[in-house]
Chains A and B, each alone.
Chain A
């Protein structure tokens, strides 16, 4: 059996349909396939699951309503009513990451959220979007966000760069948090899986551990999607209300 004993091999991008635009390789890959499946699954739940618009919801409709109210409440609690304008974006972001994480846990699946470029792109969109919203709402006054209130002028010389740095670091922390969680979880699963396959009967122990880690990863998958979404909300709140 040619089982993968190289734990990072699972993250390799493999082209399915090779495509090129100019000098760029834009092949439809395993990652793109999983993104497409995530879009189809989320659409199936939210659009097809609710097509009968039942007053007493069935299972799938309940799932769609649950997600809707979950994200709606999250925005309400962190941003308030002004945040509801960005509800579709945050909902899409949350569901896309959630199903990216979950589909990655299905055997032979692939976790596109375990790719730094994907998480960074999403974090960058959030960061740039939130910054633009802040500037659009407050103009130059948005810069006061970096100036803490009631601090002596001398300290400001120190604090403003710190505030600025902690703001600019956001897209990195946001993207690396999700990426690292997915990377670590999948690597751990692969390592224990490799042990289980290579040491015969004794492999039952790492197999059992693998099963436990799988459930932990299920939790992490949901939690990290939630964390990404709620941090987006908090950043949005900063941009709308400043401090």
Chain B
């Protein structure tokens, strides 16, 4: 077998050493640091991108939370304002109603008083008139002057009896 030809051993060993050491040096000094660098850079980039995505997601969530908080605050404020306005309006309405009722009551009372006065005056007039008529009628019928005081008393008695 050619493999056991010892005369070829020196050249094979020498060239094996030369080529192997050359490859080792090229790999150690240039190739492997470069490939390792590329792989490390890619890994860094990927983890960096993931971190960034995570951060942005967190930011987006914070913005959403703030928006929702603002929204709910605005809603509460609006409801509050609505309730206040409604209460104020109701109070005003009640106040006006009360005032109206008061003034109406006052008017009514005044009117009743006036009516009572008018009634009293009218009654007074009627009594006087009745007394005069009675006195006149008695004078004409009896032909004698009747004491006005008695006529008046009689009229009063009749009016009292008939209301």
A22: nearest chain-B partner, CB-CB: B10
B67 close to chain A: CB less than 8 A: no
B34 touches A53 (CB 8 A): yes
Interface mask (A198-217 → B, CB under 8 Å = 1, otherwise 0): 00000000000000000000
CA distance A194 to B32 in the complex (A): 43
Complex Cα distance, B39 from A65, in Å, reads 7
The reply to whether the CB of A169 lies closer than 8 angstroms to some CB of chain B is no
Cβ-closest chain B residue relative to A87: B32
Q: Residues of B contacting A88 with CB < 8 Å?
A: 24, 27-28, 32
- Contact, CB under 8 Å: B26 / A13: no
- Indicate whether A47 sits within 8 Å of B38 (C-beta atoms), given known contacts A13-B5, A39-B23: no
Any A CB within 8 A of the CB of B119? no
Expressed in whole angstroms, the Cα–Cα distance for A27 and B15 within the complex equals 9
Q: Which of B26, B27, B45 is most buried by chain A, counting CB atoms within 10 A of its CB?
A: B27
Bound-state CA distance A54–B1 (Å) is: 48
A13-B8, A87-B32 known; A28 vs B20 contact (CB < 8 Å): no
Interface range on chain B (Cβ under 8 Å from partner): 35 or more
**Min CB distance, B133 to chain A, in Å?**
132
B16 within 8 A of A: yes
A residues less than 8 Å from B17 (CB atoms): 121
**Chain B residues whose C-beta falls within 8 Å of the C-beta of A64 in the assembled complex:** 31, 35
Please tell me which one of the listed residues A9, A25, A39, A50 contacts residue B26 in the complex, with CB atoms under 8 A apart.
A39
Chain A contact residues, CB within 8 Å of chain B: 8-9, 11-13, 15, 19, 21, 24-29, 31-32, 35-36, 38-39, 42-43, 46-47, 50, 53-55, 57, 61, 64-65, 68-69, 87-89, 91-92, 95-96, 112, 114-118, 121-122, 179, 183
Complex A-B: 22 CB contacts under 8 Å: A9-B2, A25-B10, A26-B11, A29-B12, A29-B15, A38-B23, A47-B31, A50-B35, A53-B41, A55-B41, A65-B39, A68-B32, A69-B39, A112-B16, A115-B12, A116-B3, A117-B8, A117-B9, A117-B12, A121-B12, A121-B13, A121-B17
